[in-house]
Amino acid sequence: MKLKEIELRRIHIPLVRPFRTSFSTQTSREVLLVKVTNENGTVGWSECVAMSEPLYSPEYVAGCQDMMKRFLIPALRDKLDLTAEDVPIILKPFLGWQMTKAALETAVLDAQLRDRNVSLATYLGATKSKVACGVSVGIANNLTELAEEVKSYVDAGYRRIKLKIQPGWDIEAVKTIRELYPKIALQVDANQAYSRSDSGRLGKLDQFDLLLIEQPLDEHDILGHALLAKEIKTPVCLDESITSLRSAEDALELKATSVINIKPGRVGGYIESVKIHNLCVGRNIPVWCGGMLETGIGRAANLALAALPGFILPGDTSASSRYFKKDITMPFIMEDGYLNVPTGAGIGVTPDMDYLNEITIDKEVI
């Protein structure tokens, strides 16, 4: 295809409840949306998963927008026969910025698949029509409020609970929830909040039969994760550290991770995500689909990925209502703990333009 127009739009959408992690407290989501239009007039949408501030990863919304305008869009827009598969190759010389690149690749892919009338799920190799939902629970003010929040999710039917932890909000929080729900699939996410000397403390989590502990140490501390994995029984699962197929392969080879959280934005797109999925399937490594508090645009695409056969653990692919009072697409509604995988062409959803315009804080057309 030839790109005729690229629209970059920033929206501001409130969260239904504050989301507190070891790195920030978020009460709303600022999201950069990409809309491409090709020579046929076909539109493709995507969402850049970067947050407002560079606290989870080095990328941040305003930086991503600048990066797109300054370097990435100029590299793509002159091409006459652009395909989504070309995008990562063309953008490779520009180092880093995986979330930014992923957003451009996905918007091009959405338009390409709409032109061919193929769903993203089919394109990626999905084998499931619905996906089991987990939910990520932020750090609470106290254990009572944590128990209330978890109860609301268990009652809603979520099939796996993930607790955000940090030093001082870990053993007691996990113990509380495990005692209330002796059988529920439970895991924790530290977002790099611990250091190598904390293996004793993290070993105390072994007694709670957790599915995994996500990213306990610094994103660059692959050796530290490998050492920790030998010390504790809970499987270590890397999130922040895995930014490419190469880094996934390295971490597996070094035994720094025995489960992988695949987030398409973090690894540079859905095409790279499938490669990581395939690597893991070949090595019998379970994978699950992470989340970045996406709107319906990003959620639709994540569900397509999570429908691949290697995604054997429930992901952070929760219903729209877990995040927003009103989503920008048709809401994703959970039924019996599952979300349906969109079947329409491309990502299978489009935004409600009236609502989108209402919450838009900035729009530019290139």
* Residue positions annotated with a catalytic role: 164, 263
Residue 136 binding: pick among ligand OSB, Mg ion, none (C-beta 5-8 Å cut-off by kind) = ligand OSB
User: Which residue of 30, 35, 56, 111 would you call a contact of ligand OSB, by CB under 6 A?
Assistant: 56
Nearer to ligand OSB by C-beta: 113 or 324?
324
Tokens of 172: 């007691």
Query: Minimum CB separation from ligand OSB for residue 117, in Å?
Result: 29
Tokens of 126: 């999905």
Contacts of 110 (CB under 8 A, 6+ apart): 36, 43, 44, 45, 46, 120, 301, 346, 347
User: Are the CB atoms for 51 and 42 separated by under 8 Å?
Assistant: no
Residue 272 binding: pick among Mg ion, ligand OSB, none (C-beta 5-8 Å cut-off by kind) = none
Neighbours of 253 (CB within 10 A): 10
Name beta bridge partners: 189. 164, 214
Mark residues 121-140: x for contact with ligand OSB by CB under 6 A, - for none. ---------------x----
Residue that has been written with the tokens 């939910």 in this structure: 135
Nearer to ligand OSB by C-beta: 98 or 112?
98
SS3 content of the chain, % helix, strand, coil (to 5): 40, 25, 40
User: Are the CB atoms for 325 and 14 separated by under 8 Å?
Assistant: yes
Nearer to ligand OSB by C-beta: 63 or 79?
63
User: Which residue of 59, 189, 272, 327 would you call a contact of Mg ion, by CB under 5 A?
Assistant: 189
In the bound complex, which residue of the shown chain has the CB atom lying closest to Mg ion?
239
User: Are the CB atoms for 175 and 208 separated by under 8 Å?
Assistant: yes
Buried b (16+ CB within 10 A) or exposed e, 320-356: bebbbeebbbeebebeebbbbbbeebbbbbbbeeeeb
Tokens of 277: 């999925």
The reply on whether position 294 binds Mg ion by CB under 5 A is no
Nearer to Mg ion by C-beta: 113 or 163?
163
Residues counted in the chain: 366
User: Which residue of 216, 265, 269, 290 would you call a contact of ligand OSB, by CB under 6 A?
Assistant: 290
Residue 292 binding: pick among ligand OSB, Mg ion, none (C-beta 5-8 Å cut-off by kind) = ligand OSB
Which of the stretches 36-44, 117-125, 287-295, 356-364 binds ligand OSB when contact is defined by CB under 6 A?
A: 287-295
The reply on whether position 214 binds Mg ion by CB under 5 A is yes
Which of the stretches 110-118, 167-175, 291-299, 336-344 binds ligand OSB when contact is defined by CB under 6 A?
A: 291-299
Tokens of 187: 């895991």
Query: Minimum CB separation from ligand OSB for residue 78, in Å?
Result: 34
Query: Minimum CB separation from ligand OSB for residue 3, in Å?
Result: 29
Query: Minimum CB separation from Mg ion for residue 205, in Å?
Result: 16
With H, G, I as helix, E, B as strand and everything else as coil, classify residue 334. Answer: coil
Which residues 234-253 are close enough to bind ligand OSB by CB under 6 A?
239
Which of the stretches 199-207, 249-257, 275-283, 285-293 binds ligand OSB when contact is defined by CB under 6 A?
A: 285-293
The gap between the terminal CA atoms of the chain, to the nearest Å, is 17
Nearer to Mg ion by C-beta: 189 or 272?
189
The reply on whether position 194 binds ligand OSB by CB under 6 A is no
CA pair distance 267, 2, nearest whole angstrom: 25
How many amino acids of this chain bind ligand OSB (CB under 6 A)? Answer: 11
CA pair distance 292, 235, nearest whole angstrom: 22
Nearest CA to 77 among 5, 144, 12, 127?
Answer: 5
Mark residues 292-331: x for contact with ligand OSB by CB under 6 A, - for none. xx----------------------x-x-------------
Give the interface with Mg ion as residue ranges (CB under 5 A).
189, 214, 239
Give the interface with ligand OSB as residue ranges (CB under 6 A).
56, 136, 189, 191, 239, 290-293, 316, 318
